Structures are given as C-alpha cells and as structure tokens.
Amino acid sequence: MKSGSTAIACILMGAALTFSQNNPGPGGLPDMPPLDGPLAMHSGIENPPLMMMNITELQSLMAEINIDKGVSAKIVAITRAFVKFLDERILKIQKEELNIREELLKDKPDMPAIQNAIARKTQILGEVEFAQIKRDLDIKSLLTVDEYDRWKSAIMVKLRERMPRAADRNGPGGPAIRPGGQK
C-alpha cells in the first residue's frame, strides 16, 4: 500500500512540475501531456482520455473535425474549468505529501497524522476522477453522435502522436520485445 501511494505521489508531483514548467499557449492553458496514468482513471464510458492541449490546439482540432463554434466555445470552457480544478487538486496533493515527509523526518513520526494525510490524498484523487468523468460526460452531451465519433477518433490520433513509440523505448534500431519475451 505504501509503495502504491508513493508511486502515485511521485507521478502527481512529476505532473505538477511538468504543468508548472510549461509555458501557457496563446489560449492561456499550458500544453500538458495526456492524462493517461493515475490521473486518467477511466470512467467506464467509451470516451477516449481527453488530452490536455493548449486552447489554440484544442480549437484547431475542433475546427478540423467540424465542431460548431458555439459548441467549441463550451468545450473550451469545460476544459479550462477542469484544468483549474486539476491544478488546485495537484497543489493539495503536494501539500499532503509534504506533510507526510515532514512527519517522517521527526524522531517519532505521528502515524495517525500520516494515515490522515494519505486518506486526504486518496479523497483528492477521487475528486479528480469524478471531475474527469463529469468533464467527459459534459463534452459528450454537447456533441451529436457523428461529432462525438469524430471527436473520439481525433483525440485518439493526438494521443498516439504524443505517446512514445515502442521502438523509441528500445533504442534506435533495437528489437521490440513482445509479451512473453519473444522478439
């Protein structure tokens, strides 16, 4: 349990550092990596993970797939609200992680305080998961079936573009190893 929460905390802190280091694009949002880790808890609906793009990139994508400008503006507003919410929650998680570290530096750490900080972090992660589900459903409700299909396809293409390829992970010219250890 401890290693799982530590791994999540490390990923969240890395994400927060990434978010804070990115320069805001012309639309005011940082160009962020896709949320496809612990923060990308799947909602059970068939939505692709919404990629956190800067507003200009998001608007271009919606124009490319012929989403109405009025609907596009609503999707941008939903996205901005989610990013603000996520930024706030990442700061709260970092605070709890610092509380835990501070407690662990003591000669006699207060175990109930550590347990409470972990519980608060877990609650915050639940809030993020719920917000992601709400964001996805809010966007889906704005689109027709055809628009939604185009949206899903376009988001998945963007996701694949941003994901490192297996060949890149194995080094240039290196063999890709398949599950089961086969080449």
pTM for the model: 0.60
3 state SS of 79: helix
Closest by CA to 117, choosing from 106, 107, 129, 103, is 103
The residue to which tokens 């877990």 are assigned: 122
| Arithmetic mean of pLDDT over the chain | 73
Helix, strand, or coil (residue 30): strand
pLDDT computed for residue 107 by the predictor: 95
Q: For residues 116 and 95, what is the distance between their CA atoms, to the nearest angstrom?
A: 13
Residue 154's pLDDT is: 86
The stretch 45-58 carries a mean pLDDT of: 60
The encoded tokens of residue 180 equal: 């089961």
pLDDT tens-digit map of 4-28: 545 454 454 444 444 444 444 444 4
| pLDDT single digits (tens) 125-172 | 999 999 999 998 999 999 999 989 888 888 888 878 877 664 455 555
Torsion (CA) 84, 131, 21, 76 in degrees, nearest 10? -60
Average pLDDT of span 80-98: 93
